[in-house]
Amino acid sequence: MNTSKVVLTSTMKAVRKLNCAILPKFLSQHAASEPPPQGNKTHFGFEVVDENEKTEKVHQVFESVASSYDKMNDAMSFGIHRIWKDIFIDRLGPVPGTRLLDVAGGTGDIAFRFLKYLKNTGNSDAHSESHVTISDINEHMLNVGKGRAQKLGYSDEQISWLLANAEELPIEDNSYTAYTIAFGIRNVTHMDRALAEAYRVLKPGGRFLCLEFSHVNNQVLQWLYDRYSFEVIPVMGQVIAGDWKSYEYLVESIRQFPNQEDFSKMIRSAGFRCVSYENLTFGVVAIHSGFKL
């Protein structure tokens, strides 16, 4: 047996032994199936706060992390978030004439991929016929995106910017052919209201597509993922961005997010049809899809 196989075998044996000893206690400490907050309360990570507090707290988090957001995404996911987002746009499969609303998209990652995808179709009119509106509740995140758009040479004809709450979009009914939200919906106070708004602003036949952290369905991988999330990511946040608490919240918010089946039910309850999801990286993230029919 070669050296790499010996190391791998020894590592897996150690993980199994450690898993049996620690996993039950660790998962009980960070279980996402806690009783829901009562009254006008909601979760801010593992903390229970008044509903009217959460929006402001989330705003403060993203105000704090805006300048280092993309750098931290690369560090936390070892660059894999780029692949997830490429797959996300590939699943959307935009065509010339698509009018996209990208919510919680401040830094422009999804919008720029959308425009690049259209450009790569080889249709010279793709850009002129299509448009993306980037909406975010945080002005600092939008400013980062605007700076990136300018460097990439995108014009106002291709991208517009909207400072807005996903739960109360200042947009007319039936305005867009596609709605995307990537790593943002878990941060809204009332996900049901955000989903209802997504349904309202889409044209009949329009598509809702959400990329979000989800639930790993393998206990050993979940244990490893939890250890990395709770013990490494906040440290990265402190070292790279000088901000431990914001990244601790982001990790906790992932654990509070509904699992794939429960979130699919919420999407259906908002009125969407042909609802489905696709796990990426063993369920670390999932792409959720629905249509307004």
Asked if 273 contacts 199 with a C-beta cutoff of 8 angstroms, the reply is no
Query: Rounded to an integer, what distance in angstroms lies between the CA atom of residue 94 and that of residue 254?
Result: 28
Picking from 214, 191, 210, the residue whose alpha carbon sits closest to that of residue 291 is: 210
Instruction: Please name every residue paired with 290 in a beta bridge, in sequence order, or none if there are none.
Output: 208
Query: Rounded to an integer, what distance in angstroms lies between the CA atom of residue 54 and that of residue 265?
Result: 24
Q: Does 165 appear as a known binding residue? A: yes
Q: Does 138 appear as a known binding residue? A: no
Nearby residues of 273 by Cβ (< 8 Å), 6 or more positions away: 290, 291, 292, 293
Q: Exposed e or buried b for every residue in 184-204, given b needs 16+ CB within 10 A?
A: bbbbbbebeebbebbbbbbee
Picking from 143, 164, 146, the residue whose alpha carbon sits closest to that of residue 155 is: 146
Binding site: what residues are annotated?
107, 136, 165-166
Binding site for S-adenosyl-L-methionine: what residues are annotated?
107, 136, 165-166
